[in-house]
């Protein structure tokens, strides 16, 4: 069996000192590939370093909306250069977070648009972080995302109606362990309508362990197996067939076969 954790932060301090063991436990559980995702300059370098070190591990580089406030044009040039490293498979995470607003909205919009431009120029897919900013995210994608090849909304927590809009635009949707939470009825309704050729899974670890492991404070890729089982059941599908289908989707989205 093969599964890919399409969004993890193995460079974050909760996991970084122990990546070898984290990877070993992941493989043991059946999660055999990883996209480790950067959020700022330092984490981007870390993501590329880790991807270079481990087989079946790839990197995404981007500036998280929380960190948009610190960005200058020199950093965007550096990001563009780093994105051309052999194991970088996407730009991200980038997007808008109007829940926390750690960066001003106008700054978030500008830095998001700049990263869409880089993705279009380098022909890379984009991993979107969108929180309480759905309409603005779609708006910026429409105005600045013309040349962008593929887009995934990561850690999706929106409604079925929003999911439908994303699908209609040809974009992809990725779910975390949140979909297993008791109070996540809305997210489950969204998951039900996403076809497997547009659906991916992720941990977003070290955050948000899925049920029944929610008490494990530091999430890790091995635990994605619980989310996979849960969603296969939700979709009334054979577990092996479910894993096969979403792995095909993930590999195609990130062009992993070509790597
Ligand atoms: Zn995110
Ligand atoms: Zn993330």
pLDDT (mean) for 197-221: 97
Q: What is the token pair recorded at 246?
A: 């979403």
Please report, rounded to a whole number, the percentage of residues in the chain having pLDDT higher than 90.
98
DSSP assigned state of 211 = T
Distance, CA 244 to ligand 2 centroid (Å)? 24
CB 62 within 8 A of CB 79: yes
pLDDT (mean) for 58-81: 96
Distance, CA 152 to ligand 1 centroid (Å)? 11
- Distance in angstroms (rounded) separating the CA atoms of residues 116 and 125: 9
Q: Is 258 a residue whose pLDDT tops 80?
A: no
Residues with CB under 5 A from ligand 2 (ion): 204
CB 127 within 8 A of CB 101: no
Residues in contact with 29: Cβ distance below 8 Å, sequence separation at least 6, in sequence order: 221, 222, 223, 224, 225
Please report, rounded to a whole number, the percentage of residues in the chain having pLDDT higher than 70.
100
pLDDT (mean) for 55-74: 96
Distance, CA 101 to ligand 1 centroid (Å)? 13
pLDDT (mean) for 3-19: 97
Q: Is 74 a residue whose pLDDT tops 80?
A: yes
Distance, CA 155 to ligand 1 centroid (Å)? 6
Q: Is 221 a residue whose pLDDT tops 90?
A: yes
Determine the pLDDT at residue 28.
Answer: 98
Instruction: Tell me which ligand sits closest to the C-alpha of residue 203.
Output: 2
* Run of H or E including 127: strand 126-131
pLDDT (mean) for 28-32: 98
Determine the pLDDT at residue 1.
Answer: 86
Distance, CA 217 to ligand 1 centroid (Å)? 18
Instruction: Tell me which ligand sits closest to the C-alpha of residue 154.
Output: 1
Per-residue pLDDT band for 202 (boundaries 50, 70, 90) equals very high
Determine the pLDDT at residue 55.
Answer: 97
Average pLDDT, the chain: 97
- Distance in angstroms (rounded) separating the CA atoms of residues 107 and 205: 26
Instruction: Tell me which ligand sits closest to the C-alpha of residue 128.
Output: 1
pLDDT (mean) for 105-132: 98
Determine the pLDDT at residue 194.
Answer: 98
> Packing angle between helix 41-53 and helix 73-82, nearest 10 degrees?
10
Q: Is 224 a residue whose pLDDT tops 90?
A: yes
């Amino acid at each position: 069996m093969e599964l890919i954790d399409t969004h993890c932060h193995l460079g974050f301090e909760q996991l970084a000192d122990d990546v070898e063991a984290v990877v070993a436990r992941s493989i043991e559980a059946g999660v055999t590939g990883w996209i480790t995702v950067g959020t700022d300059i330092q984490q981007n370098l870390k993501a590329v370093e880790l991807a270079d070190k481990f087989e079946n591990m790839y990197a995404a580089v981007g500036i998280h909306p929380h960190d948009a406030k610190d960005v200058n044009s020199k950093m965007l040039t550096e990001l563009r250069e780093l994105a051309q490293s052999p194991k970088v498979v996407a730009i991200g995470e980038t997007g808008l977070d109007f829940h926390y607003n750690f960066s001003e909205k106008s700054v978030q919009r500008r830095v998001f648009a700049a990263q869409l431009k880089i993705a279009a120029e380098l022909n890379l897919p984009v991993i979107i972080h969108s929180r309480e900013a759905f309409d603005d995210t779609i708006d910026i994608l429409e105005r600045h995302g013309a040349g962008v090849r593929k887009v995934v909304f990561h850690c999706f927590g929106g409604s079925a109606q929003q999911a439908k809009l994303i699908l209609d635009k040809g974009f992809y949707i990725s779910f975390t362990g949140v979909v297993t939470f008791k109070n996540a009825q809305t997210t489950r309704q969204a998951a039900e309508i996403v076809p497997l050729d547009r659906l991916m899974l992720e941990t977003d670890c070290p955050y948000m362990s899925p049920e029944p492991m929610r008490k494990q404070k530091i999430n890790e890729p091995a635990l994605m197996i619980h989310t996979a089982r849960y969603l296969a059941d939700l979709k009334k599908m054979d577990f092996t067939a479910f894993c096969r289908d979403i792995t095909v989707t993930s590999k195609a989205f990130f062009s992993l076969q070509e790597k």
